Amino acid sequence: MASKVAVFGSFFVDLMARTPRFPVAGETLKGSMFQMGPGGKGFNQAVAAHKANANVTMITKVGKDAFAGIILDTMKNLNMPTEYIIQTDASSTGCALIMVHEESGQNEIVIVPGTCNLLNEDDTNKVEEVLKDCEYVLLQLEVNQDANERIVELARKHNVKVIVNTAPYAPMSDDFLSKVYMVTPNEVEAEEMTGITIDGLEAAKEAARIIKSKGVEVVVITLGGRGVFVSTNDKEDIVEAFKVHAIDTTGAGDAFNGGFLCALSEGKDIWEAARFANALAALSVQKIGTTVSMPTREEIDNFLHEVTKCQ
Ligand code: RIB
C-alpha cells in the first residue's frame, strides 16, 4: 500500500495569456488567448500527485476572497481533502501573471504570493498532525522560508523525508539543507545554489557534489526537454525525457515533482520514480494550463505502456 504524503506550499490563481512573442519594456502586445485557473507550484504538485493516485494532503493559505473559491471548488471536484486549506483575511489569495509563447510553449511568470507569504507558527503547528503520519513531505520556495524551516524541523521530529523543489530559487541555509532528503532544482536553480553553470554532465555532477556536501542525499537536476540528472549515493545518470510536442511548458516541473512524490510513496526506487515523473511532465506539456494539465493515472499508465512498446 502507498504511504501517506503531504505537499506544503503555494496556491495561486494563474492568469495566463498566450502571446506571439514576449513584449519588451514599455510595449503592449495583443495576445491570442486568456485563461484563468488554479495554480501555484505547491498546488500543481499536490494535484499531480493526487491524480496519479497518491494519498496526498495539501497544506496552503488563502484569503477570504473570490480567488479562494477556486482552490476549494477545484479540490471538491477532485475529491481532495480541504481541511488544511487555511484561510485568513490578512491578505489576498496569491496570484501569478503568466505569458506563454504560442510557438515554443515557453513562459514568463510573475508571482504575487499574498497569503502564501503569511504562513505562521500556528499554521505550521497545525500541520504536525498530518506530517506525523507521512513518509514524505514536498516543499517549494514560493512561501515564506521560515515556514518551510519549521516544517523541516517537524519532519525531522517525525522521521518524515523532506523533498524540496527549489523553485523559484531563494537562498536556503546550510542548516535547512542538512535536514533535506532530496532537492529538485532546474538548471538555473542548480547554478544559483552552487555557482556551477550546468552546461554538461560533468557540471551537473559537480553541482550535485556541492549540494550533497550540505547533507542532501539525492539530487535531481531537471534539464527541460533533455530529461533529468539524478545523483544518489551509489549512482549518477541522466534519465531521458520522453519526446513530445510541447504547447505549454508551464507547470511541467510541478507535474514532474508531483509524479516523483507519488512514485516514491508507492515504493518505486529513485530511477523508476524519475521515469514515472518524466511521463507526467511529458503529458502535462501537451495541454494548456497548469493544474488543469495534470494527467490521470490511467493516462500515465497508458503513455508508459505505449512508449515501452516502442522501445
Ligand atoms: O510552475 C508553474 C506555476 O508557477 C504556476 O502555476 C504559477 O502559479 C507559478 O507558481
Closest atom, ligand 1, to C-alpha of 254: 1
| Residue 311: pLDDT over 80 | no
| Residue 37: pLDDT over 90 | yes
H/E stretch holding 95: strand 93-101
Closest atom, ligand 1, to C-alpha of 95: 8
Residue 227 in contact with ligand 1 by CB distance below 6 A:
no
| Residue 170: pLDDT over 90 | yes
DSSP state of 186: B
User: What average pLDDT score do residues 46-65 get?
Assistant: 98
H/E stretch holding 137: strand 134-139
Length of the chain: 311
pLDDT category, 212, cuts 50, 70, 90? Answer: very high
H/E stretch holding 75: helix 66-77
- The proportion of the chain whose per-residue pLDDT surpasses 90, expressed as a percent, equals 96
Per the structure block, which three cell numbers stand in for 7? Answer: 505537499
pLDDT category, 216, cuts 50, 70, 90? Answer: very high
CA distances (Å), origin 66, targets 92, 181, 273, 298: 9, 37, 37, 33
Domains in the chain (CATH in brackets) are: 4-8+41-61+117-310 (3.40.1190.20)
Gap from CA of 45 to ligand 1 centroid (Å) = 10
What pLDDT score was predicted for residue 275? 98
Rounded to whole angstroms, the Cα distance separating 210 from 195 reads 10
- The proportion of the chain whose per-residue pLDDT surpasses 70, expressed as a percent, equals 100
Residues 241-281 have pLDDT tens digits of 999 999 999 999 999 999 999 999 999 999 999 999 999 99
What pLDDT score was predicted for residue 310? 78
- Is residue 254 part of the annotated active site? The answer reads yes
Per the structure block, which three cell numbers stand in for 189? Answer: 536553480
Rounded to whole angstroms, the Cα distance separating 184 from 231 reads 11
The strand pairing partners of 60, in sequence order, are 85
Sign of CA dihedral 66, 49, 190, 307: negative
CA torsion angle for 57, 50, 75, 90 (degrees, to 10)? Answer: 40
Question: Hey, how many other C-beta atoms are within 10 angstroms of the C-beta on 236?
Answer: 15
pTM assigned to the model: 0.97
Strands 182-183, 227-231: parallel, antiparallel or unpaired by DSSP?
unpaired
| Average pLDDT in the chain | 97
pLDDT category, 225, cuts 50, 70, 90? Answer: confident
What pLDDT score was predicted for residue 6? 98
Nearest partner of 257 among 221, 287, 226, 203, judged by Cα: 221
User: What average pLDDT score do residues 64-87 get?
Assistant: 97
What pLDDT score was predicted for residue 51? 98
Gap from CA of 311 to ligand 1 centroid (Å) = 33
Rounded to whole angstroms, the Cα distance separating 257 from 175 reads 23
Per the structure block, which three cell numbers stand in for 29? Answer: 502586445
The strand pairing partners of 110, in sequence order, are 97
Residues 115-144 have pLDDT tens digits of 999 999 999 999 999 999 999 999 999 999
User: What average pLDDT score do residues 162-177 get?
Assistant: 97
| Residue 70: pLDDT over 80 | yes
Pocket residue to mutate for ligand 1, from 60, 290, 291, 293, most atoms within 8 A of Cβ: 290
Gap from CA of 253 to ligand 1 centroid (Å) = 9
User: What average pLDDT score do residues 27-55 get?
Assistant: 97
